[in-house]
Amino acid sequence: MKHSAIRNLTWHPQGERLNADIERAVTTHADTSPSTNFLVTTTPPDLTPEDEAAVPQGEGVPEPLVLSPAPTSAIEEAIALLRIAAEVEGSLLVQYLFAAGSLLSGVNINVPGFDHPIQTDDWYDVIRSIAKQEMGHLITVQNLLLSLGALPHLDRENLPFTSPLYPFPFSLEPIGVVSLARFVAAEAPRMVASADQPDYADAVSRAGAVVGIIPRAGQIYERLFWLFQDSDDPQEPWPTLKNPFPDWPHWHVEPSKVGLNQDRQASPTEWRGSGDDDGPDTAVYVLQIRDNASARKALYAIGLQGEGPVTEQGVTHFDKFLRIYRELRAAAAQPAAPPYARNQASDPRTGLGGRQTITDPASLLWSHLGNVRYRLLLIDIGLAVSIGQAGALPSAKATGRDLTNWAFQEMIAAIKPLSEELRQMPLQSGNGPTELRAGLPYELPASDLPTSISEQIAYLRDGIAEAKQLRERIEDTLNPTPKQKGILKVLANIDSAMAQKLG
């Protein structure tokens, strides 16, 4: 039965369930003793006039964050924060993909005050590129966890609940002013340039009206960088960094505890990533961790790509989302502007509980298939970074390299084409072509995903079998189009190869 805290997808190399002492739970209750409370606010204490304008003006301090059990060392805190970072990355990238997928292609809107036509294709390319970069961040976070001797963590916040470190509750939203406002707020740097502050404040206000205060995701990485410093003194490559949680313990990760599991860490070659010498605009950082210095470089690269600082404007996620926000807000305000997004459901669900439940039979079958592929993707990634490229699964012929390949096949041959099909399919039975479209729900199961390697291998086998059943039902009952048949055929080939290696 799922607990109310964040679901974990963690496992032990020997197949044992994760030690409960290390397992983190986040509550929204300030019920632990003051000595172990690490209160988090989104208001840094040393404000400057610029900062003041940048900080979200909400209804007050959000619920205090309690790490339970409270970390007793810098490394424990780092591991806890890295798990949160992994969940944030996994959560954001899926929401970015969903939003990008809701865009209509080829729409150009001329808006007064802009010296260029505003293009949905541009938005689509930029947001998908950001999502891919978030995937790189997710993989790099796994390397950071491995380097500390911790297990990979591929969980994703799945229940709507608040946490001072989560930007906003997970919710698949089609592109719109408010959904973009959320992204702007989540990716905000600590210091927002004066010229950007009015639009940033507007985004924060719009998003806040719906989801409340949105903490910056970047502060997780800022704190992590600080933890990997040798001391409280500023350190390269982020000498301007300020500790976002100055009330937390002033401890730092011991160098001797960093750099483990280098044979298992994901490499940019395996994961089609970029090295840290590639520029942040288009690089997909997959960085390996050898020591504190490389950990700082990796955290800085992630932080830089998300929020800055960079010497060149327009390359960070914040800059890109803010630019799109401005354009979309202006386009949406044009009375004669053409539609730029589909009539896409918000938060589609295959079962009860979602604001908009998928009931069209065809959409439902394809959605189930999409959900299965998404879960297979997460398991593939987790197992791949758990055993390393040279590793092999016990009681199966599959290697770490196989798992990495399968993960990419899920992304390229399954998730992308299935999401493209589903965004055109009706949400509910009888919906006409202009009524709500479904979209890929990216649902995780009601029960926790398995946590041991043996259970995960079994889960992959079950997933392949379930996918086969769904494919056959689609083929037999839905009269798929030639394009859809092509998708199903490729998936069948992938599943056949997986089944051969998994036994």
Partner 1 sequence: MGTVYKIHPAIGVARVGNHPTAYFVGPEVPGMSGMEIGTGGAETPIRHYKQEGKIKRQAARFRIFRYQEAADGQLQLLGEVTANDAQIEWRVNLVNRKAALDHNPAPSHPARPRNTDITDRESLVIRGSQPVVISGQNQSAREIRGQFLGTEVYLGEVRTDPGGRLLVLGGRGHSESVPPGEDLPEFANNDRWHDDVSDGPVTAVISLPGQEPIVAHHPAWVVVAPPDFAPGIDSIITLYDVAFQAAIEKGALRPDPVPSFRRHIKPLIERAAALRWVNSFNKWADLGTIDWSVLADTGPANAPARAKVAKRLQRPGLRDFIMPAFMSQYVNQWAAGQFISDLNDSDLQVPIPDQLDRAALDACVGNNFFPGIEASINLRDKDMYARPFRLDHTNVGKVYPGCLTEIMAVPWQADFRDCDGGVWWPSQRPDIAMTDPHNIPASQSPWEAPIPEGDHQGMVDHVLQLGFIVGTQINGQIVFLEVDRDPKFPREAQIAATEGGGSTSSA
Residues that bind partner 1 (CB under 8 A): 106, 108, 115-117, 119, 121-122, 125-126, 128-129, 267-270, 272-275, 278-279, 281-284, 314-315, 402, 405-406, 408-409, 412-414, 416-417, 482-483, 485-487, 489-490, 493-494, 496-497
CB of residue 431 vs partner 1: minimum separation in angstroms?
Answer: 25
CB 164 within 8 A of CB 64: yes
Name beta bridge partners: 426.
437
Phi, psi of 40 (to 5 degrees): -120, 130
Beta carbon nearer to partner 1, 73 or 282:
282
Nearer to partner 1, 314 or 339 (CB): 314
The sign one gets for the Cα dihedral 287, 291, 294, 298 is positive
CA 163 to chain centre: 16
Nearest approach, Cβ of residue 478 and partner 1 (Å): 15
Q: How deeply is 395 buried, as exposed, middle or buried, from its count of CB atoms within 10 A (0-12, 13-18, 19+)?
A: exposed
CB of 284 to partner 1, least distance (A): 8
Residue 43, token pair as written in the block: 């208001």
Taking the complex as a whole, the smallest distance from the CB of residue 498 to partner 1 amounts, in Å, to 10
CB of 481 to partner 1, least distance (A): 9
Read off φ and ψ for residue 63, nearest 5 degrees: -50, 135
Q: Are 383 and 461 in contact (CB under 8 A)?
A: no
**Strand (E) or helix (H) holding 68:** strand 67-68
Provide the minimum distance between the beta carbon of 325 and partner 1 in the complex, in angstroms, as a whole number.
18
3-state secondary structure of 119: strand
C-beta closer to partner 1: residue 19 or 269: 269
Pick between residue 117 and residue 351 the one whose CB is nearest to partner 1: 117
132 vs 242, which CB is nearer to partner 1?
132
Pairing of strands 67-68, 25-26: antiparallel
HSE (side-chain half, CA atoms, 13 Å) at 143: 30
Residue with Cβ nearer partner 1 (115 or 233) = 115
Of 250 and 489, nearer to partner 1 (C-beta) is 489
Number of CB atoms found within 10 A of residue 290's CB: 14
Q: Among residues 238, 319, 296, 286, which one has the least CA distance to residue 138?
A: 286
In terms of CB distance, is 55 or 487 closer to partner 1? Answer: 487
CB of 405 to partner 1, least distance (A): 4
CB of 232 to partner 1, least distance (A): 32
Pairing mode, strands 348-349 and 356-357: parallel
